[in-house]
Every structure is written in structure tokens, then in C-alpha cells.
Amino acid sequence: MKKYECSPCAYIYDPEVGDPDGGIAPGTPFEDIPDDWVCPVCGLGKDMFEVVE
């Protein structure tokens, strides 16, 4: 699964880890995260994330 980076703050969403504090279980692909989820570091939305190559 692809990792995604929050452009402004450089937080990396790793699907293998998820975001347990944000209610996202490990193994959840970025595409399956609810649209109202926000970056746990800076609070910006999913639209600020880009695929990490």
C-alpha cells in the first residue's frame, strides 16, 4: 500500500500503521479513510496529502 505525505507539515500516513488516535485502524488504505479525517499533526484535510514515491 502507498504512503501519503501531508505537504505542509511532512506527516507521513502509513497504511500499515494507520492513525489509531484518529480512529483509523492499521491496514486501512488512504483511499478508505473518511473524507472528514484530518492530519493528526497540523489538522489539514486529506486534500493536502500526496503519494510518496
pLDDT tens-digit readout, 2-49? 999 999 999 999 999 999 999 999 999 999 999 999 999 999 999 999
Q: From the annotation, which residues make up the binding site for Fe cation?
A: 6, 9, 39, 42
Q: From the annotation, which residues make up the binding site?
A: 6, 9, 39, 42
Does 8 reside within a domain? Answer: yes
Does 7 reside within a domain? Answer: yes
Domain count, the chain: 1
Does 47 reside within a domain? Answer: no
Does 34 reside within a domain? Answer: no
CB 24 within 8 A of CB 33: yes
Owning domain of residue 5: 1-25
User: How far is 10 from 23, CA to CA, in rounded Å?
Assistant: 20
User: Checking DSSP bridges between strand 12-13 and strand 49-51, what pairing results, if any?
Assistant: unpaired
Does 42 reside within a domain? Answer: no
Does 30 reside within a domain? Answer: no
User: How far is 15 from 33, CA to CA, in rounded Å?
Assistant: 10
pTM for the whole structure: 0.93
For 1-52, the DSSP string reads ---EEETTT--EE-TTT-BGGGTB-TT--GGGS-TT-B-TTT--BGGGEEE-
Does 21 reside within a domain? Answer: yes
